[in-house]
Structure 1
Amino acid sequence: MNFITRNTAATMVCTFASGITFAGPTRGSANLHLLALAALVTATPARADPPASADLQVTISGLRSTKGQVMMCLTRRSQKQFLKCADDPSHVTKVLKASAAGRVDFRLPPGEYSLLLVHDENGNGRMDKMMGMPREGFGFSRNAPLHMGPPRYEDVHFTVAPGRNSQAIKVRYML
């Protein structure tokens, strides 16, 4: 044995797989094991909780008929991109018969969203227009006001927090 291993006041430096370096005096192998255990316990990351989910309940009012279908699209896109909901790879859609529209439930990850709705009365899968004006009903989250065109993002986006959330959409018709 050399001088360092015989000297009980010697300093032992241990670097663990976690990257933690621990230095301290050694007094035999029992202390070394305690040091190693303490370093591993403090280096073990806490288990992350599973990602929270959120429930969004959307109530729809103002449909002028029970013909066709109601198409809904939720997007996380911001600013001017929110109107291109279907182009968002993470968009969420629901299509239901207009006669069954009243309440729609979504389960989503929490975050910022915008909701667009179309009452596709003739069931052709798109919003029909005449001279640039919508011929079918439409709605947006937060019942955003219209200003000579589509609403602004600031008026449409909303936060979905973990737990229960709700939005009420009143369908509007221009023609």
Structure 2
Amino acid sequence: DVTLTSVRSARGLIRVCLTADPDNFPGCVDDSHAVTRTVPAHVRDVRFDGLAPGRYAIAVIHDENSNARLDTFAGIPREGFGFSRNPRIGFGPPRFAAAGFDLDGNASAQTVRIRYLL
């Protein structure tokens, strides 16, 4: 279960990607095993069922204009984003190790705070 906090508006979509592949985090672009969800931005809870035990990380974007990507200006995100375990953000996204969490087969919950830089 993923609970989203600090979403600034109900406009657009929330895009969530859960992956076990450090090489495809946070984009999940080439990860055929990634599990993704797209929900209306007013939804604050997203559920993933049937996951195998392992180490996972979650990346979230608040796609306010529904164009299926994270918009940036001079490399700075113009839309909201967040990661499992809410790691510190420096220049660029966090590494898988900073956002990763272990799933042992029992129910697990992650609270992801959405951040906005512009």
1:92-111 equivalences in 2 (<5 Å): 92-99=35-42, 101-107=43-49, 108-111=51-54
Q: CA deviation at 1:110?
A: 1.4
Aligned to 2:24: 81
Match of 1:155 among 59, 84, 98: 98
Gaps of 5+ in 1: 1-56
User: SS of the residue aligned with 1:87?
Assistant: coil
Identity in percent? 41
Could you state the TM-score of these two structures normalised by the residue count of structure 1?
A: 0.64
Q: Is the 8 A contact 1:67 1:98 kept in 2?
A: yes
Q: Which structure features the higher share of helix residues?
A: 1
Match of 2:74 among 131, 134, 137: 131
The one-letter code matched in structure 2 to 1:59 is T
**How far apart are the structure 1 equivalents of 2:62 and 2:13?**
6
Aligned to 1:168: 111
Aligned to 1:112: 55
**How far apart are the structure 1 equivalents of 2:78 and 2:27?**
19
Q: Is the 8 A contact 2:25 2:95 kept in 1?
A: no
**How far apart are the structure 2 equivalents of 1:60 and 1:83?**
17
**How far apart are the structure 2 equivalents of 1:84 and 1:118?**
10
Aligned to 1:9: none
4+ residue segments displaced more than 4 Å:
none
**How far apart are the structure 1 equivalents of 2:93 and 2:4?**
19
Could you state the TM-score of these two structures normalised by the residue count of structure 2?
A: 0.94
CA RMSD of aligned residues (A): 1.1
Q: CA deviation at 1:103?
A: 0.9
User: SS of the residue aligned with 1:165?
Assistant: coil
Number of residue pairs the alignment of both structures matches: 117
| Larger Rg belongs to | 1
